[in-house]
Amino acid sequence: MEQVKEGGGFVLAPGVNIPEEADPANVKALMDAVEKHGVY
């Protein structure tokens, strides 16, 4: 996030599909990161 947030215009949107084979632990890590760093 530090590399893409300031002036970077990064948007994590619900329109992005999570692959069926994605490890649930990785999906949880993504959600945790969004909660921690989602607003800047």
Range of the domain at 5: 1-40
pTM to 2 decimal places = 0.59
Q: What pLDDT is stored for residue 17 in this prediction? A: 84
Per-residue pLDDT for the chain (40 aa), expressed as one digit of tens each? 667 767 766 777 767 788 899 999 998 998 898 888 776 5
**DSSP per-residue string spanning 1-40:** -TTTSTTT-----TTSPPPTT--HHHHHHHHHHHHHHS--
Q: What pLDDT is stored for residue 33 in this prediction? A: 85
Spatial contact of 37 and 1, defined as CB atoms under 8 Å apart: yes
Rounded distance, CA 38 to CA 36, Å? 6
Domain count, the chain: 1
